[in-house]
Structure 1
Amino acid sequence: MSDVIRLKAMRRPRFSIRTLFLMATIAAIACCFALPFNPDVMIVGHEIQAGSSRWDGAPIHVVTIRNDGFLPFYYIGHSGLVLNLAFTKSGNDGDNDWFSNSQNPTHWTLLHRGEEAVMEFAVHGDYNTVTVATEVSDWRGRFAPVSAGPFSFDENGG
């Protein structure tokens, strides 16, 4: 008698086109959620306007941000005015101060491609440079800082 072991032929797994399409879709969605949020924001201007009663007559510095990215993002504010910002002021005496201005309750506003929003803040003559920043969010709920500056000023705040 011969001791022959017969192996069964292994069957290859079969995939349909539908299964392949489903797996490719799941992989694409997973990659979309795994990408980091790097907003393409352009700081398009800085100007100084006359004082306002809101800041005791101090000159108002206006920084305009523009969404140059493909997808929209959200900022805290409304009607094109960013209401959640922070800025660092470098004083003439070498000291740095950090201030923030925020809105409560938080209202997120969508900024589409090519649209602009402004950040307003007041700086008096005791400071010679200012860096201003805000935070934006994408549709996934990821946050990224957006900053502008440092802007230099003379002793009159401008």
Structure 2
Amino acid sequence: MRAGVLWMLMVCLSDGKDPTCSVLTSLTVSKLSKVNVSCPSTTGRETNYELFFNDSSFGLIHMEKMSGPADMLFSGQFEVTANSSGEFLCRSEENWPPPNSDDCHTTEVIVAELQFLHEINGSAPAANQSCPFRSPLIPEEVIWAGCGVLLVYSLSITCIAIVLWKNTRK
């Protein structure tokens, strides 16, 4: 029982590291073109996809898998109209089953004039960038140290309870 509670505490408190976004693509398009921004694939039963454009929230998709194989992949995709150049960042948050996990992909969109489109090579990768996540409240080392202290405490209390129980039986 205590081990299960300890495990749940570790899982809940250890989430929150900043993953690095992987760049899916860099696109050069004309103004008002439709662009498909794809999101990371997940296998969870419940997933949220959030789209950011230049660090401001742009859209949200909530997906729930009702049936199917457990390892079936979810994939979110946004279709947007490109008005200006910038980076679209799609963040996926897998809510169920625990532990929650986050991942993100970046798509750089460059809006160019029509006469310059034939001169541009549209496959230059952008630099990796961190997702706009909050920093963890408690560092991971502190969590592991706290879990170690709780483990030693629970084992010592269990041993004391066993000794007291045996003494009271005599």
TM-score by length of 2: 0.42
Structure showing greater radius of gyration is: 1
Higher RCO, 1 vs 2 (CA within 8 Å, ≥6 residues apart):
2
TM-score by length of 1: 0.44
